[in-house]
Structure 1
Protein backbone atom coordinates (compact mmCIF):
# COMPACT_ATOMS: atom_id res chain seq x y z
CA UNK A 1 0.00 0.00 0.00
CA UNK A 2 1.54 3.30 -1.02
CA UNK A 3 0.52 6.91 -1.25
CA UNK A 4 0.45 8.63 -4.64
CA UNK A 5 0.64 12.26 -5.65
CA UNK A 6 -2.00 13.97 -7.75
CA UNK A 7 -2.10 17.60 -8.80
CA UNK A 8 -4.78 19.86 -7.34
CA UNK A 9 -6.59 22.63 -9.22
CA UNK A 10 -3.50 24.85 -9.09
CA UNK A 11 -1.21 22.15 -10.42
CA UNK A 12 0.50 21.54 -7.07
CA UNK A 13 0.96 17.87 -6.25
CA UNK A 14 -1.04 16.71 -3.22
CA UNK A 15 -0.78 13.48 -1.23
CA UNK A 16 -3.76 11.18 -1.71
CA UNK A 17 -4.96 9.09 1.21
CA UNK A 18 -3.59 5.55 0.79
CA UNK A 19 -6.12 2.72 0.67
CA UNK A 20 -5.72 -1.03 0.43
CA UNK A 21 -6.72 -2.70 -2.84
CA UNK A 22 -10.36 -3.79 -2.67
CA UNK A 23 -11.17 -1.65 0.38
CA UNK A 24 -14.83 -0.65 0.55
CA UNK A 25 -15.97 1.48 3.48
CA UNK A 26 -19.53 0.15 3.27
CA UNK A 27 -18.29 -3.40 3.86
CA UNK A 28 -16.66 -2.60 7.19
CA UNK A 29 -18.34 -3.60 10.47
CA UNK A 30 -21.31 -5.47 8.92
CA UNK A 31 -24.57 -5.34 10.85
CA UNK A 32 -24.50 -9.12 11.25
CA UNK A 33 -21.12 -8.97 12.97
CA UNK A 34 -22.16 -6.14 15.28
CA UNK A 35 -25.47 -7.86 16.10
CA UNK A 36 -23.73 -11.11 17.03
CA UNK A 37 -21.25 -9.22 19.23
CA UNK A 38 -24.03 -7.46 21.11
CA UNK A 39 -26.24 -10.54 21.43
CA UNK A 40 -23.46 -12.48 23.11
CA UNK A 41 -22.99 -9.87 25.83
CA UNK A 42 -24.20 -10.68 29.33
CA UNK A 43 -26.30 -7.52 29.68
CA UNK A 44 -28.29 -8.54 26.59
CA UNK A 45 -29.07 -11.95 28.03
CA UNK A 46 -29.97 -10.47 31.42
CA UNK A 47 -32.30 -7.90 29.90
CA UNK A 48 -33.97 -10.53 27.76
CA UNK A 49 -34.47 -12.67 30.85
CA UNK A 50 -36.08 -9.76 32.72
CA UNK A 51 -38.50 -9.08 29.86
CA UNK A 52 -39.47 -12.76 29.73
CA UNK A 53 -39.82 -13.14 33.50
CA UNK A 54 -42.05 -10.11 34.13
CA UNK A 55 -45.28 -11.78 32.90
CA UNK A 56 -44.54 -14.86 35.00
CA UNK A 57 -43.95 -12.70 38.08
CA UNK A 58 -47.27 -10.89 37.50
CA UNK A 59 -49.16 -14.18 37.13
CA UNK A 60 -47.70 -15.36 40.42
CA UNK A 61 -48.58 -12.04 42.07
CA UNK A 62 -52.19 -12.26 40.87
CA UNK A 63 -52.41 -15.87 42.04
CA UNK A 64 -51.16 -14.95 45.50
CA UNK A 65 -53.51 -11.96 45.67
CA UNK A 66 -56.46 -14.05 44.48
CA UNK A 67 -56.99 -12.21 41.19
CA UNK A 68 -56.67 -8.72 39.79
CA UNK A 69 -56.70 -5.90 42.33
CA UNK A 70 -60.06 -4.27 42.75
CA UNK A 71 -60.63 -0.57 42.11
CA UNK A 72 -60.83 1.53 45.25
CA UNK A 73 -62.66 4.54 43.81
CA UNK A 74 -64.98 2.79 41.39
CA UNK A 75 -62.91 3.51 38.26
CA UNK A 76 -61.98 0.39 36.32
CA UNK A 77 -58.44 0.24 34.96
CA UNK A 78 -56.45 -2.27 32.92
CA UNK A 79 -55.11 -3.72 36.16
CA UNK A 80 -58.67 -4.59 37.20
CA UNK A 81 -59.23 -6.62 34.02
CA UNK A 82 -55.75 -8.18 33.84
CA UNK A 83 -56.92 -11.74 34.50
CA UNK A 84 -59.82 -11.60 32.06
CA UNK A 85 -57.91 -13.08 29.12
CA UNK A 86 -54.51 -13.37 27.54
CA UNK A 87 -55.01 -10.11 25.62
CA UNK A 88 -56.00 -8.28 28.79
CA UNK A 89 -52.93 -9.67 30.53
CA UNK A 90 -50.63 -8.57 27.70
CA UNK A 91 -52.12 -5.07 27.72
CA UNK A 92 -51.60 -4.91 31.48
CA UNK A 93 -47.95 -5.95 31.17
CA UNK A 94 -47.41 -3.14 28.67
CA UNK A 95 -49.22 -0.69 30.94
CA UNK A 96 -47.12 -1.44 34.01
CA UNK A 97 -43.83 -1.46 32.11
CA UNK A 98 -44.19 1.34 29.53
CA UNK A 99 -43.53 4.14 32.02
CA UNK A 100 -40.17 2.92 33.31
CA UNK A 101 -39.20 -0.72 32.71
CA UNK A 102 -39.15 -0.44 28.92
CA UNK A 103 -36.99 2.67 29.24
CA UNK A 104 -34.18 0.55 30.69
CA UNK A 105 -33.40 -1.69 27.66
CA UNK A 106 -33.56 1.30 25.32
CA UNK A 107 -31.18 3.34 27.46
CA UNK A 108 -28.93 0.31 28.03
CA UNK A 109 -28.63 -0.83 24.42
CA UNK A 110 -28.24 2.69 22.99
CA UNK A 111 -26.19 4.22 25.80
CA UNK A 112 -23.75 1.35 26.21
CA UNK A 113 -22.97 0.74 22.56
CA UNK A 114 -20.25 3.35 21.83
CA UNK A 115 -19.18 4.16 25.38
CA UNK A 116 -18.42 0.49 26.11
CA UNK A 117 -15.97 0.38 23.19
CA UNK A 118 -14.26 3.45 24.60
CA UNK A 119 -14.12 1.95 28.10
CA UNK A 120 -12.50 -1.20 26.66
CA UNK A 121 -9.98 0.97 24.74
CA UNK A 122 -11.09 -0.73 21.52
CA UNK A 123 -12.80 2.23 19.87
CA UNK A 124 -9.63 3.63 18.32
CA UNK A 125 -8.71 0.20 16.96
CA UNK A 126 -12.09 -0.10 15.26
CA UNK A 127 -11.56 3.28 13.63
CA UNK A 128 -8.03 2.29 12.63
CA UNK A 129 -9.30 -0.92 10.96
CA UNK A 130 -10.31 1.39 9.19
CA UNK A 131 -14.03 1.70 9.91
CA UNK A 132 -15.36 5.15 8.94
CA UNK A 133 -16.86 7.00 11.89
CA UNK A 134 -20.25 7.46 10.28
CA UNK A 135 -20.33 3.77 9.33
CA UNK A 136 -19.46 2.74 12.88
CA UNK A 137 -22.23 4.90 14.35
CA UNK A 138 -24.81 3.75 11.81
CA UNK A 139 -24.03 0.10 12.52
CA UNK A 140 -24.16 0.52 16.27
CA UNK A 141 -27.29 2.66 16.18
CA UNK A 142 -29.15 0.21 13.92
CA UNK A 143 -28.26 -2.78 16.11
CA UNK A 144 -29.10 -0.91 19.33
CA UNK A 145 -32.51 0.16 18.01
CA UNK A 146 -33.15 -3.36 16.71
CA UNK A 147 -32.39 -4.90 20.09
CA UNK A 148 -34.55 -2.30 21.84
CA UNK A 149 -37.43 -3.18 19.53
CA UNK A 150 -36.84 -6.89 20.15
CA UNK A 151 -37.09 -6.35 23.92
CA UNK A 152 -40.41 -4.54 23.48
CA UNK A 153 -41.77 -7.29 21.25
CA UNK A 154 -40.58 -10.06 23.58
CA UNK A 155 -42.58 -8.76 26.55
CA UNK A 156 -46.09 -8.90 25.01
CA UNK A 157 -45.33 -12.16 23.17
CA UNK A 158 -44.40 -13.89 26.41
CA UNK A 159 -47.36 -12.21 28.13
CA UNK A 160 -49.78 -13.55 25.52
CA UNK A 161 -48.35 -17.06 25.86
CA UNK A 162 -48.35 -17.01 29.66
CA UNK A 163 -51.75 -15.33 29.77
CA UNK A 164 -53.25 -17.91 27.42
CA UNK A 165 -52.11 -20.70 29.74
CA UNK A 166 -53.19 -18.95 32.93
CA UNK A 167 -56.38 -17.17 31.86
CA UNK A 168 -57.33 -18.53 28.44
CA UNK A 169 -57.59 -16.94 25.03
CA UNK A 170 -60.51 -14.54 24.79
CA UNK A 171 -61.67 -11.01 23.97
CA UNK A 172 -60.07 -7.95 25.50
CA UNK A 173 -62.29 -6.38 28.15
CA UNK A 174 -62.09 -2.61 27.80
CA UNK A 175 -62.05 -0.83 31.18
CA UNK A 176 -64.42 1.87 29.91
CA UNK A 177 -66.91 -0.74 28.72
CA UNK A 178 -67.26 -3.19 25.87
CA UNK A 179 -64.91 -5.79 24.45
CA UNK A 180 -62.66 -6.32 21.48
CA UNK A 181 -62.47 -9.72 19.73
CA UNK A 182 -59.22 -11.52 20.44
CA UNK A 183 -57.97 -11.18 16.86
CA UNK A 184 -58.73 -7.46 16.74
CA UNK A 185 -57.16 -6.98 20.16
CA UNK A 186 -53.97 -8.75 19.06
CA UNK A 187 -53.68 -6.45 16.04
CA UNK A 188 -54.25 -3.40 18.22
CA UNK A 189 -51.49 -4.59 20.54
CA UNK A 190 -49.12 -4.61 17.57
CA UNK A 191 -49.98 -0.92 17.08
CA UNK A 192 -49.45 -0.31 20.79
CA UNK A 193 -45.98 -1.88 20.75
CA UNK A 194 -45.03 0.10 17.64
CA UNK A 195 -46.14 3.35 19.30
CA UNK A 196 -44.26 2.57 22.51
CA UNK A 197 -41.12 1.99 20.47
CA UNK A 198 -41.54 5.30 18.65
CA UNK A 199 -42.20 7.12 21.93
CA UNK A 200 -38.95 5.72 23.33
CA UNK A 201 -36.88 7.08 20.45
CA UNK A 202 -36.23 10.19 22.56
CA UNK A 203 -34.57 8.07 25.23
CA UNK A 204 -32.69 6.17 22.51
CA UNK A 205 -31.40 9.38 20.93
CA UNK A 206 -30.41 10.85 24.27
CA UNK A 207 -28.59 7.69 25.38
CA UNK A 208 -26.82 7.37 22.02
CA UNK A 209 -25.69 11.00 22.07
CA UNK A 210 -24.37 10.65 25.62
CA UNK A 211 -22.63 7.42 24.61
CA UNK A 212 -20.56 9.36 22.06
CA UNK A 213 -19.63 11.94 24.70
CA UNK A 214 -18.33 9.75 27.51
CA UNK A 215 -16.11 6.74 28.08
CA UNK A 216 -18.32 5.58 30.98
CA UNK A 217 -21.25 3.39 29.81
CA UNK A 218 -23.06 3.76 33.13
CA UNK A 219 -22.87 7.52 32.75
CA UNK A 220 -24.60 7.42 29.37
CA UNK A 221 -27.23 4.90 30.48
CA UNK A 222 -27.85 6.59 33.82
CA UNK A 223 -27.98 10.04 32.24
CA UNK A 224 -30.63 8.95 29.73
CA UNK A 225 -32.73 7.23 32.40
CA UNK A 226 -32.36 10.19 34.76
CA UNK A 227 -33.43 12.76 32.19
CA UNK A 228 -36.36 10.57 31.19
CA UNK A 229 -37.46 10.52 34.82
CA UNK A 230 -37.10 14.31 34.94
CA UNK A 231 -39.42 14.53 31.94
CA UNK A 232 -42.02 12.40 33.75
CA UNK A 233 -41.75 14.63 36.82
CA UNK A 234 -42.20 17.78 34.76
CA UNK A 235 -45.24 16.27 33.06
CA UNK A 236 -46.80 15.83 36.50
CA UNK A 237 -46.50 19.58 37.16
CA UNK A 238 -49.93 20.70 35.98
CA UNK A 239 -48.95 24.34 36.46
CA UNK A 240 -46.96 24.07 33.23
CA UNK A 241 -50.24 23.94 31.36
CA UNK A 242 -49.90 23.68 27.59
CA UNK A 243 -46.10 23.47 27.80
CA UNK A 244 -46.51 19.84 28.83
CA UNK A 245 -47.67 19.06 25.30
CA UNK A 246 -44.06 19.49 24.17
CA UNK A 247 -42.83 16.84 26.61
CA UNK A 248 -42.51 13.33 25.15
CA UNK A 249 -43.55 11.95 28.55
CA UNK A 250 -46.93 13.66 28.20
CA UNK A 251 -47.88 11.27 25.38
CA UNK A 252 -46.35 8.03 26.61
CA UNK A 253 -49.74 6.46 27.40
CA UNK A 254 -51.56 7.81 24.35
CA UNK A 255 -51.55 4.21 23.09
CA UNK A 256 -54.50 3.52 25.40
CA UNK A 257 -56.67 5.18 22.73
CA UNK A 258 -55.82 2.30 20.39
CA UNK A 259 -57.60 -0.30 22.53
CA UNK A 260 -60.98 1.40 22.45
CA UNK A 261 -63.97 0.22 20.38
CA UNK A 262 -63.39 3.26 18.15
CA UNK A 263 -59.68 4.03 18.33
CA UNK A 264 -58.48 7.62 18.44
CA UNK A 265 -55.23 8.38 16.65
CA UNK A 266 -54.79 12.09 17.36
CA UNK A 267 -52.78 11.71 20.57
CA UNK A 268 -50.58 8.98 19.12
CA UNK A 269 -49.84 11.04 16.00
CA UNK A 270 -48.89 14.09 18.04
CA UNK A 271 -46.81 12.03 20.46
CA UNK A 272 -45.01 10.28 17.60
CA UNK A 273 -44.24 13.59 15.89
CA UNK A 274 -42.73 15.08 19.05
CA UNK A 275 -40.71 11.97 19.83
CA UNK A 276 -39.31 11.64 16.30
CA UNK A 277 -38.45 15.35 16.17
CA UNK A 278 -36.47 15.20 19.42
CA UNK A 279 -34.81 11.94 18.40
CA UNK A 280 -33.66 13.27 15.02
CA UNK A 281 -32.00 16.24 16.70
CA UNK A 282 -30.25 14.04 19.27
CA UNK A 283 -29.03 11.51 16.70
CA UNK A 284 -27.78 14.36 14.50
CA UNK A 285 -25.86 15.80 17.46
CA UNK A 286 -24.31 12.39 18.09
CA UNK A 287 -23.07 12.05 14.50
CA UNK A 288 -21.87 15.65 14.33
CA UNK A 289 -20.01 15.50 17.63
CA UNK A 290 -18.44 12.10 17.00
CA UNK A 291 -17.20 13.16 13.56
CA UNK A 292 -15.11 15.91 15.24
CA UNK A 293 -14.16 14.03 18.39
CA UNK A 294 -10.54 13.28 19.20
CA UNK A 295 -10.83 9.55 19.89
CA UNK A 296 -8.04 8.37 22.20
CA UNK A 297 -9.81 5.45 23.92
Structure 2
Protein backbone atom coordinates (compact mmCIF):
# COMPACT_ATOMS: atom_id res chain seq x y z
CA UNK A 1 0.00 0.00 0.00
CA UNK A 2 2.74 2.53 0.87
CA UNK A 3 4.39 1.69 -2.44
CA UNK A 4 1.16 2.47 -4.30
CA UNK A 5 0.85 5.78 -2.48
CA UNK A 6 4.45 6.63 -3.30
CA UNK A 7 3.86 5.81 -6.97
CA UNK A 8 0.69 7.91 -7.03
CA UNK A 9 2.50 10.86 -5.43
CA UNK A 10 5.36 10.54 -7.90
CA UNK A 11 2.95 10.48 -10.84
CA UNK A 12 1.13 13.54 -9.48
CA UNK A 13 4.40 15.42 -9.03
CA UNK A 14 5.59 14.47 -12.52
CA UNK A 15 2.26 15.57 -13.99
CA UNK A 16 2.40 18.89 -12.12
CA UNK A 17 5.98 19.57 -13.21
CA UNK A 18 5.08 18.64 -16.79
CA UNK A 19 2.10 21.01 -16.71
CA UNK A 20 4.24 23.88 -15.41
CA UNK A 21 6.92 23.13 -18.00
CA UNK A 22 4.38 23.21 -20.81
CA UNK A 23 2.76 26.36 -19.42
CA UNK A 24 5.96 28.38 -19.09
CA UNK A 25 7.65 27.22 -22.29
CA UNK A 26 4.79 28.34 -24.52
CA UNK A 27 5.35 31.51 -26.51
CA UNK A 28 1.75 32.46 -25.78
CA UNK A 29 2.42 32.47 -22.04
CA UNK A 30 5.43 34.75 -22.36
CA UNK A 31 3.57 36.98 -24.80
CA UNK A 32 0.75 37.42 -22.28
CA UNK A 33 3.21 38.11 -19.45
CA UNK A 34 4.93 40.69 -21.66
CA UNK A 35 1.55 42.30 -22.40
CA UNK A 36 0.81 42.43 -18.66
CA UNK A 37 4.20 44.08 -18.03
CA UNK A 38 3.39 46.69 -20.68
CA UNK A 39 0.37 47.95 -18.72
CA UNK A 40 2.35 49.82 -16.03
CA UNK A 41 5.03 50.79 -18.54
CA UNK A 42 2.53 52.46 -20.88
CA UNK A 43 0.79 54.09 -17.94
CA UNK A 44 4.02 55.53 -16.56
CA UNK A 45 5.20 56.77 -19.95
CA UNK A 46 1.83 58.42 -20.63
CA UNK A 47 1.89 60.20 -17.26
CA UNK A 48 5.55 61.16 -17.72
CA UNK A 49 4.95 62.67 -21.17
CA UNK A 50 1.75 64.43 -20.16
CA UNK A 51 2.10 68.18 -19.77
CA UNK A 52 -0.82 68.27 -17.33
CA UNK A 53 -0.30 67.10 -13.77
CA UNK A 54 -3.39 65.72 -12.05
CA UNK A 55 -4.44 67.42 -8.85
CA UNK A 56 -4.90 65.13 -5.84
CA UNK A 57 -8.13 63.16 -6.25
CA UNK A 58 -8.42 63.76 -10.00
CA UNK A 59 -8.37 61.02 -12.60
CA UNK A 60 -8.30 57.24 -11.94
CA UNK A 61 -7.34 56.19 -8.38
CA UNK A 62 -3.60 56.36 -7.59
CA UNK A 63 -2.69 57.92 -10.97
CA UNK A 64 -2.46 61.37 -9.35
CA UNK A 65 0.13 59.93 -6.93
CA UNK A 66 2.39 58.41 -9.60
CA UNK A 67 4.34 61.62 -10.25
CA UNK A 68 4.86 62.08 -6.50
CA UNK A 69 6.14 58.54 -5.94
CA UNK A 70 6.92 56.09 -8.73
CA UNK A 71 6.01 53.07 -6.58
CA UNK A 72 2.36 54.00 -7.02
CA UNK A 73 2.68 53.02 -10.70
CA UNK A 74 2.14 49.36 -9.82
CA UNK A 75 -0.96 50.08 -7.73
CA UNK A 76 -2.48 52.33 -10.40
CA UNK A 77 -1.73 49.81 -13.14
CA UNK A 78 -3.38 47.01 -11.14
CA UNK A 79 -6.57 49.05 -10.83
CA UNK A 80 -6.58 49.66 -14.57
CA UNK A 81 -5.81 46.01 -15.41
CA UNK A 82 -8.39 44.35 -13.15
CA UNK A 83 -11.61 45.09 -15.09
CA UNK A 84 -10.43 43.76 -18.49
CA UNK A 85 -6.76 42.98 -19.12
CA UNK A 86 -6.16 40.48 -16.34
CA UNK A 87 -9.53 38.73 -16.86
CA UNK A 88 -8.68 38.48 -20.56
CA UNK A 89 -5.44 36.61 -19.89
CA UNK A 90 -7.13 34.49 -17.21
CA UNK A 91 -9.87 33.53 -19.66
CA UNK A 92 -7.25 32.39 -22.17
CA UNK A 93 -5.36 30.10 -19.80
CA UNK A 94 -8.39 28.74 -17.92
CA UNK A 95 -10.51 28.19 -21.02
CA UNK A 96 -7.67 26.24 -22.60
CA UNK A 97 -7.17 23.79 -19.71
CA UNK A 98 -9.27 20.86 -20.92
CA UNK A 99 -10.69 22.18 -24.20
CA UNK A 100 -7.18 22.87 -25.49
CA UNK A 101 -6.04 19.30 -24.84
CA UNK A 102 -9.20 17.96 -26.44
CA UNK A 103 -8.77 20.22 -29.45
CA UNK A 104 -5.18 19.08 -29.95
CA UNK A 105 -6.14 15.43 -29.53
CA UNK A 106 -3.86 14.92 -26.52
CA UNK A 107 -6.49 14.59 -23.79
CA UNK A 108 -7.05 10.90 -24.44
CA UNK A 109 -3.34 10.16 -24.08
CA UNK A 110 -3.16 12.06 -20.79
CA UNK A 111 -5.96 9.92 -19.40
CA UNK A 112 -4.28 6.69 -20.49
CA UNK A 113 -1.67 7.31 -17.79
CA UNK A 114 -2.85 6.21 -14.31
CA UNK A 115 -3.41 9.74 -13.02
CA UNK A 116 -7.19 9.87 -12.80
CA UNK A 117 -9.52 12.57 -14.06
CA UNK A 118 -9.80 14.34 -10.70
CA UNK A 119 -6.04 14.57 -10.39
CA UNK A 120 -5.78 15.91 -13.94
CA UNK A 121 -8.34 18.62 -13.17
CA UNK A 122 -6.46 19.63 -10.02
CA UNK A 123 -3.15 19.79 -11.88
CA UNK A 124 -4.68 21.87 -14.68
CA UNK A 125 -6.19 24.25 -12.15
CA UNK A 126 -2.93 24.66 -10.24
CA UNK A 127 -1.12 25.31 -13.53
CA UNK A 128 -3.45 28.21 -14.34
CA UNK A 129 -3.07 29.49 -10.78
CA UNK A 130 0.71 29.53 -11.23
CA UNK A 131 0.27 31.66 -14.36
CA UNK A 132 -1.95 34.17 -12.54
CA UNK A 133 0.58 34.42 -9.72
CA UNK A 134 3.35 35.05 -12.25
CA UNK A 135 1.19 37.64 -14.02
CA UNK A 136 0.29 39.68 -10.95
CA UNK A 137 3.89 39.78 -9.70
CA UNK A 138 5.08 40.67 -13.21
CA UNK A 139 2.72 43.65 -13.27
CA UNK A 140 3.78 44.91 -9.84
CA UNK A 141 7.50 44.43 -10.51
CA UNK A 142 7.27 46.15 -13.88
CA UNK A 143 5.38 49.01 -12.22
CA UNK A 144 8.00 49.40 -9.48
CA UNK A 145 10.84 49.35 -12.00
CA UNK A 146 9.41 51.83 -14.50
CA UNK A 147 8.20 54.07 -11.66
CA UNK A 148 11.70 54.11 -10.16
CA UNK A 149 13.17 55.03 -13.57
CA UNK A 150 10.77 57.85 -14.47
CA UNK A 151 9.64 59.37 -11.16
CA UNK A 152 10.93 60.20 -7.69
CA UNK A 153 10.85 57.16 -5.44
CA UNK A 154 10.91 57.10 -1.68
CA UNK A 155 8.80 56.41 1.41
CA UNK A 156 5.12 56.04 0.54
CA UNK A 157 2.26 57.97 2.12
CA UNK A 158 -0.57 55.48 2.58
CA UNK A 159 -4.26 56.18 2.12
CA UNK A 160 -4.53 56.44 5.91
CA UNK A 161 -1.89 59.20 5.94
CA UNK A 162 0.86 57.08 7.50
CA UNK A 163 4.29 56.96 5.88
CA UNK A 164 6.16 53.67 5.32
CA UNK A 165 9.63 52.98 3.97
CA UNK A 166 10.49 51.56 0.57
CA UNK A 167 11.09 48.05 1.94
CA UNK A 168 7.66 47.88 3.54
CA UNK A 169 6.11 49.44 0.43
CA UNK A 170 7.55 46.63 -1.69
CA UNK A 171 6.05 44.18 0.78
CA UNK A 172 2.66 45.86 0.34
CA UNK A 173 3.06 45.50 -3.43
CA UNK A 174 3.63 41.76 -2.98
CA UNK A 175 0.48 41.58 -0.83
CA UNK A 176 -1.50 43.34 -3.57
CA UNK A 177 -0.24 40.77 -6.09
CA UNK A 178 -1.29 37.94 -3.75
CA UNK A 179 -4.69 39.56 -3.14
CA UNK A 180 -5.28 39.84 -6.88
CA UNK A 181 -4.25 36.22 -7.39
CA UNK A 182 -6.79 35.12 -4.78
CA UNK A 183 -9.41 37.29 -6.51
CA UNK A 184 -8.88 35.36 -9.73
CA UNK A 185 -9.23 31.87 -8.25
CA UNK A 186 -13.01 31.80 -8.58
CA UNK A 187 -12.80 32.85 -12.20
CA UNK A 188 -10.23 30.11 -12.81
CA UNK A 189 -12.68 27.54 -11.44
CA UNK A 190 -15.42 28.85 -13.74
CA UNK A 191 -13.00 28.60 -16.66
CA UNK A 192 -12.09 25.02 -15.75
CA UNK A 193 -15.76 24.05 -15.74
CA UNK A 194 -16.55 25.75 -19.04
CA UNK A 195 -13.46 24.13 -20.55
CA UNK A 196 -14.92 20.68 -19.81
CA UNK A 197 -18.05 21.52 -21.81
CA UNK A 198 -16.39 21.96 -25.20
CA UNK A 199 -13.51 20.90 -27.40
CA UNK A 200 -13.15 24.40 -28.85
CA UNK A 201 -10.75 26.48 -26.72
CA UNK A 202 -11.83 29.81 -28.19
CA UNK A 203 -15.43 29.10 -27.19
CA UNK A 204 -14.39 28.33 -23.61
CA UNK A 205 -12.20 31.44 -23.42
CA UNK A 206 -15.06 33.60 -24.67
CA UNK A 207 -17.45 32.09 -22.15
CA UNK A 208 -15.12 32.85 -19.24
CA UNK A 209 -14.59 36.44 -20.38
CA UNK A 210 -18.34 36.95 -20.80
CA UNK A 211 -18.92 35.60 -17.27
CA UNK A 212 -16.45 38.16 -15.95
CA UNK A 213 -18.07 41.01 -17.85
CA UNK A 214 -21.59 40.06 -16.77
CA UNK A 215 -20.52 39.80 -13.12
CA UNK A 216 -18.93 43.25 -13.23
CA UNK A 217 -21.98 44.79 -14.87
CA UNK A 218 -24.33 43.27 -12.28
CA UNK A 219 -22.03 44.49 -9.51
CA UNK A 220 -22.48 48.08 -10.71
CA UNK A 221 -26.28 48.00 -10.74
CA UNK A 222 -27.60 49.41 -7.45
CA UNK A 223 -30.94 47.68 -8.05
CA UNK A 224 -29.15 44.35 -7.58
CA UNK A 225 -27.28 45.25 -4.41
CA UNK A 226 -28.69 42.16 -2.67
CA UNK A 227 -26.55 39.88 -4.82
CA UNK A 228 -23.41 42.02 -5.07
CA UNK A 229 -21.56 40.22 -2.27
CA UNK A 230 -22.15 36.89 -4.06
CA UNK A 231 -20.55 37.97 -7.33
CA UNK A 232 -17.00 36.68 -7.84
CA UNK A 233 -15.82 40.11 -9.04
CA UNK A 234 -17.24 42.05 -6.08
CA UNK A 235 -14.03 42.34 -4.04
CA UNK A 236 -11.59 42.62 -6.94
CA UNK A 237 -10.69 46.26 -6.32
CA UNK A 238 -10.65 46.14 -2.53
CA UNK A 239 -6.89 45.64 -2.40
CA UNK A 240 -6.75 49.37 -1.60
CA UNK A 241 -7.29 48.29 2.02
CA UNK A 242 -3.72 46.97 1.95
CA UNK A 243 -2.57 50.58 1.59
CA UNK A 244 -3.80 51.54 5.04
CA UNK A 245 -2.15 51.41 8.45
CA UNK A 246 -2.94 48.98 9.95
CA UNK A 247 -3.84 46.75 7.00
CA UNK A 248 -7.58 46.17 6.82
CA UNK A 249 -8.01 42.40 6.48
CA UNK A 250 -11.80 42.10 6.52
CA UNK A 251 -12.15 42.48 2.75
CA UNK A 252 -9.32 39.98 2.20
CA UNK A 253 -11.12 37.41 4.35
CA UNK A 254 -14.48 38.02 2.66
CA UNK A 255 -12.86 37.80 -0.75
CA UNK A 256 -11.03 34.55 0.08
CA UNK A 257 -14.21 32.97 1.46
CA UNK A 258 -16.21 33.98 -1.62
CA UNK A 259 -13.57 32.62 -4.00
CA UNK A 260 -13.43 29.34 -2.06
CA UNK A 261 -17.17 29.01 -2.56
CA UNK A 262 -16.78 29.43 -6.32
CA UNK A 263 -13.88 26.97 -6.37
CA UNK A 264 -15.98 24.38 -4.51
CA UNK A 265 -19.06 24.89 -6.68
CA UNK A 266 -17.48 25.05 -10.11
CA UNK A 267 -14.79 22.53 -9.19
CA UNK A 268 -17.54 20.05 -8.35
CA UNK A 269 -19.38 20.89 -11.57
CA UNK A 270 -16.18 20.46 -13.57
CA UNK A 271 -15.51 17.07 -12.01
CA UNK A 272 -19.13 15.98 -12.46
CA UNK A 273 -18.96 16.85 -16.13
CA UNK A 274 -15.44 15.57 -16.79
CA UNK A 275 -15.84 12.28 -14.90
CA UNK A 276 -18.75 11.25 -17.16
CA UNK A 277 -17.45 12.74 -20.38
CA UNK A 278 -16.58 10.49 -23.31
CA UNK A 279 -13.08 11.47 -24.33
CA UNK A 280 -12.62 10.73 -28.01
CA UNK A 281 -9.69 12.97 -28.81
TM superposition score normalised by structure 1: 0.84
Q: Give the corresponding residue for 2:187.
A: 203
Q: Give the corresponding residue for 2:91.
A: 107
Q: CA deviation at 1:103?
A: 1.4
Distance 1:273 1:74, change over 3 A: same
Q: CA deviation at 1:210?
A: 0.8
TM superposition score normalised by structure 2: 0.89
Q: CA deviation at 1:65?
A: 1.2
Contact 2:97 2:195 in 1 (8 A): yes
Distance 1:260 1:75, change over 3 A: farther
Paired residues in the alignment total 275
**In structure 2, distance between residues paired with 1:69 and 1:245:** 33
Q: CA deviation at 1:70?
A: 4.0
Aligned CA RMSD, in angstroms, stands at 2.4
Structure with greater helix percent = 2
Contact 1:115 1:212 in 2 (8 A): yes
Q: Give the corresponding residue for 1:254.
A: 238
SS in 1 for 2:278: coil
| 1:97-149 deviation per Cα after TM superposition (whole angstroms, max 9, x unaligned) | 12221212222222112111101111112222454222322222221211111
**In structure 2, distance between residues paired with 1:269 and 1:215:** 36
Is residue 294 of structure 1 aligned with residue 264 of structure 2? Answer: no
1:105-184 mapped onto 2 (5 Å cutoff): 105-174=89-158, 177-184=161-168
**In structure 1, distance between residues paired with 2:158 and 2:114:** 55
Match 1:50 to one of 14, 30, 35:
35
**In structure 2, distance between residues paired with 1:266 and 1:233:** 24
Mean Cα deviation higher: 120-129 or 174-183: 174-183
**Which consecutive residues of structure 2, in runs of 5 or more, have no partner in the other structure?**
1-5
Distance 1:146 1:130, change over 3 A: same
Match 1:61 to one of 39, 46, 59:
46
Contact 1:68 1:79 in 2 (8 A): no
**In structure 2, distance between residues paired with 1:32 and 1:147:** 13
**In structure 2, distance between residues paired with 1:162 and 1:68:** 18
Q: Give the corresponding residue for 2:21.
A: 36
Mean Cα deviation higher: 229-238 or 55-64: 55-64
Distance 1:56 1:241, change over 3 A: closer
Q: CA deviation at 1:153?
A: 1.0
Larger Rg: 1
Distance 1:158 1:252, change over 3 A: same
Contact 2:238 2:251 in 1 (8 A): yes
**In structure 2, distance between residues paired with 1:241 and 1:203:** 21
Q: CA deviation at 1:196?
A: 1.1
Q: Give the corresponding residue for 1:266.
A: 250
1:206-221 mapped onto 2 (5 Å cutoff): 206-221=190-205
**In structure 2, distance between residues paired with 1:248 and 1:122:** 32
**In structure 1, distance between residues paired with 2:227 and 2:89:** 28
Q: Give the corresponding residue for 1:16.
A: none
Q: Give the corresponding residue for 1:89.
A: 73
Q: Which has the higher contact order (CA 8 A, sep 6+)?
A: 2
SS in 1 for 2:233: helix
Q: CA deviation at 1:40?
A: 2.1
Contact 1:68 1:81 in 2 (8 A): no
